[in-house]
Chains A and B, each alone.
Chain A
């Protein structure tokens, strides 16, 4: 069974540009989460999908971030326009039930210059 995959593994963009991160959860997992770790700080929750619906987006930093999960399968996280403080590692996780173990992808390292 394939695990959670994320694309790209690394992205370097200039301030003001747009970047889209993709996450493919484990097949059959209705719950999908996005987290972010800014360098030197703790991992922070961004948002949680149940199927295609946003269950909790309380961790989204601002309206430059847009997450979607069309069809309840893969998810995208778009940052537009990117700012320097958006640099960090973005993790995606999925789980069968909300209280089940979350399985993590390898992360996308985003660098905004």
Chain B
């Protein structure tokens, strides 16, 4: 069965520092991978997605993620954190065996220190 593991329920970085949010997945068939963000009091918004094209995916707000099949990882990065990046981030996987329903990680709250 598919699963997603996000390392760290909370990650704290200083403003201007590198953001790295970790996501590992399991899937027995080629996966689609997603990062969603939920800002306070808002709905889920797609940051970026991997759908078997380029392994380095660029998303909105300066975020990017790299699909590494050998490591079954899809970590999210941003070179320089802004205060406005404070939110909860979710990694999700889908594939044809799950009828493309999204299987979610537990979420990581990103805290930005001034």
Contact = CB atoms under 8 A, between A and B. Distances in A.
Interface of A: 4, 33, 35, 41-45, 48, 55-56, 59, 91, 93, 98-99, 101-107
B89 interface: no
Q: For the side of the interface on B, what is the size category? A: 20 to 34
Nearest to B51: A99
A99 B99 CA distance: 9
Interface stretch (B15-23, B38-46, B61-69, B73-81): B38-46
A98 B92 CA distance: 15
A109 to B, nearest CB: 10
Nearest to B106: A42
Interface of B: 4, 32, 36, 42-46, 49, 51, 90, 92, 94, 99-107
B104 A42 contact: yes
